[in-house]
């Protein structure tokens, strides 16, 4: 695996982009929040739509695919990396932080912290992919922050990502699938629900309807964007250039499908979307 030379952060160009990776199009929910909260910052996004979802895959596959995307972005001279996939965050975040000379942000810790800030009964539910739920990433993150004083209920929702990837988020089928999937969770007591997958905010209104208005629904995407803003300011990496910034999107799958979804979610009329072929192995 490639090793990157550590460099002085002062040598980094402040106008270089933020890199974002995801298993598919779900990370666009994070990109949308960054575009809103940090309008000066350019982004380079990679969505591995050809191999999505990551949730049912082995940890080794997730690790390999994630490093392939990172390898490409590092060659694009990014100043910060956001792992916008909860499954990838759970598998490789610590390793990536150790190896890269730039700030690396995951989506688990911000979501866990936000949930702890709003829960009143210290009863939190987490929904995510099979990989994220099996990793216990959220219960561990919550425990590391709060200790053993919080009850956490977890549920894998493997049917949600295909709904979002296929753009079927506004049909009656989506409501039926969400309601059926969340039935086991509704037997539990909780006042806060973490959307532990960046695809899930696209189903947020349906999920809210199913769990009821008494439950606070937390999107890790918006909280991640806040952490990114804090890190950029603290480390002096925020962009100074006032010129219009340009975002670039890569997909390993259909460019046309990705453009349609990105336009619908981000409202970007002329975004650049290129097809990306990732190497079979990291060199």
> Which are the catalytic amino acids?
85, 197
220 is in an annotated binding site: no
22 is in an annotated binding site: yes
Exposure on the CB side of residue 130, measured as CA atoms within 13 A: 11
48 is in an annotated binding site: no
- List the one residue out of 249, 271, 246 whose CA is nearest residue 40: 246
Following DSSP, what letter does each residue of 92-138 receive, concatenated?
HHHHHHHH-SS-EE-SHHHHHHHHHHH-SSSEEEEEE-HHHHHHTHH
Contact 84, 198 (CB under 8 A): yes
Integer Cα distance of 276 and 254 in angstroms:
10
86 is in an annotated binding site: yes
Determine how many CB atoms are found less than 10 A away from the CB of residue 188.
13
* Residue 200 DSSP symbol: G
Integer Cα distance of 214 and 216 in angstroms:
7
- List the one residue out of 181, 214, 213, 176 whose CA is nearest residue 197: 181
Determine how many CB atoms are found less than 10 A away from the CB of residue 141.
24
15 is in an annotated binding site: no
Distances (CA, A) of 213 to 19, 192, 204, 263: 35, 10, 12, 29
23 is in an annotated binding site: yes
198 is in an annotated binding site: yes
Is the peptide bond prior to 103 cis by the omega test (within 30 degrees of 0)?
Answer: no
- List the one residue out of 109, 113, 181, 105 whose CA is nearest residue 150: 113
* Binding residue positions: 22-23, 54-55, 86-87, 198-199
Residue numbers belonging to the annotated binding site for substrate: 22-23, 54-55, 86-87, 198-199
């Amino acid at each position: 695996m490639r090793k990157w030379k550590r460099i002085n952060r002062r040598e980094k160009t402040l106008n270089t982009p933020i890199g974002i990776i995801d298993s598919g199009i779900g990370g666009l929910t994070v990109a949308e929040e960054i575009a809103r909260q940090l309008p000066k910052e350019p982004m380079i996004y990679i969505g591995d739509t050809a191999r999505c979802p990551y949730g049912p895959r082995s940890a080794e596959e997730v690790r390999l695919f994630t490093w392939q995307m990172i390898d490409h972005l590092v060659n694009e001279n990014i100043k910060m990396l956001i792992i916008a996939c909860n499954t990838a965050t759970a598998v490789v975040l610590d390793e990536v932080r150790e190896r890269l000379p730039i700030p690396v942000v995951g989506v688990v810790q911000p979501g866990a912290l936000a949930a702890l800030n709003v829960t009143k009964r210290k009863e939190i539910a987490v929904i995510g992919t099979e990989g994220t739920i099996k990793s216990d990433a959220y219960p561990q993150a919550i425990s590391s922050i709060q200790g053993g004083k919080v009850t956490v209920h977890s549920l894998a929702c493997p049917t949600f990502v295909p709904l979002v990837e296929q753009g079927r988020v506004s049909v009656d089928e989506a409501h039926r699938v969400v309601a059926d999937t969340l039935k086991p969770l509704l037997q539990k007591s909780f006042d806060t629900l973490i959307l532990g997958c960046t695809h899930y905010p696209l189903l947020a209104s349906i999920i809210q309807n199913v769990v009821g208005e008494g439950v606070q629904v937390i999107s890790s995407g918006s909280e991640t964007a806040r952490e990114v803003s804090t890190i950029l300011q603290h480390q002096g990496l925020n962009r100074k250039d006032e010129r219009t910034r340009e975002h670039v999107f890569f997909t390993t799958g259909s460019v046309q499908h990705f453009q349609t979804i990105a336009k619908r979610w981000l409202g970007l009329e002329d975004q650049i979307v290129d097809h990306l072929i990732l190497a079979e192995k990291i060199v």
